[in-house]
């Protein structure tokens, strides 16, 4: 039976490179993993005043989706040398209310995707800081910084073989590592 893995994409753009990379990961994932892209753009900004006994339906649904998964892969761009607000908001929603952290113990991987040369290094490491606090063991190697992503896809939307091979290395390493943690 394959493990259900949540994939959170930190770019809301319809034609996002991050979403394209997430879809490639879905296509090339080994049979031991079933990757599900979970929508995070519709989550209201986290606000404890609305997270009451009757929280927004989107909070409840999101928390249940994360709870139902056995791991999480974050695919994120870098905005201004940091993490996109939509990813941080999803983290905050999933970690609340206090004492009910939906993220705890879920093995994670971080793939940062950027048109720049350094491949979202800042966002990748900023996200990892939060994952430590959330008690999410995170894949250390291979590190997944994908720079110059705008050159990795052809005019038909197909990813280069070089980038696809690197993504295969990442997803296969994650699958092996998550199996060892089980």
Per-residue pLDDT band at 31 (split at 50, 70, 90): very high
Per-residue confidence band for 117, with pLDDT thresholds at 50, 70 and 90 = confident
pLDDT tens-digit series, residues 40-80: 999 999 999 999 999 999 999 999 999 999 999 999 999 99
Domain count, the chain: 1
Residue with tokens 């280069």: 160
Token reading at 41: 């753009």
Rounded Cα distance between 24 and 99, Å, is 35
Domain that holds residue 117: 3-181
Name the pLDDT band for 116 (thresholds 50, 70, 90). confident
Model confidence pLDDT, tens digit, residues 124-170: 999 999 999 999 999 999 999 998 999 999 989 899 999 999 999 99
Instruction: Read off the CATH number of the domain in which 75 is found.
Output: 3.40.50.360
My answer on whether omega of the bond before 115 falls inside 30° of 0, hence cis, is no
What is the DSSP annotation of 113-151? E-SSTTTTHHHHHHHHHHHHHTT--B--SS-EEE--GGG
Q: How confident is the model at residue 18 (pLDDT cuts 50, 70, 90)?
A: very high
**Paired tokens of 39:** 């929508």
- 3-class DSSP state of 177: helix
Q: Which residue reads 């994670």 in tokens?
A: 108
């Amino acid at each position: 039976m394959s493990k259900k893995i949540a994939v959170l994409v930190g770019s809301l753009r319809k034609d996002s490179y991050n979403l394209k990379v997430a879809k490639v990961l879905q296509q090339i994932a080994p049979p031991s993993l079933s990757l599900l892209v979970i929508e995070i753009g519709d989550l209201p900004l986290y606000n404890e005043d609305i997270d009451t006994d009757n929280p927004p339906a989107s909070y409840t649904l999101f928390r249940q989706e994360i709870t139902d998964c056995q791991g999480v892969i974050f695919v994120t761009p870098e905005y201004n040398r940091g993490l996109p607000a939509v990813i941080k908001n999803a983290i905050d929603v999933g970690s609340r209310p206090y004492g009910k952290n939906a993220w705890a113990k879920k093995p994670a991987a971080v793939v940062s995707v950027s048109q720049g040369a350094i491949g979202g290094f800042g966002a990748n490491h900023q996200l990892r800081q939060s994952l430590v606090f959330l008690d999410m063991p995170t894949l250390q190697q291979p590190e997944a910084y994908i720079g110059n992503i705008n050159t990795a896809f052809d005019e038909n939307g197909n990813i280069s073989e070089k980038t696809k091979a690197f993504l295969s290395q990442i997803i296969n390493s994650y699958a092996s590592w998550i199996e060892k943690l089980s």
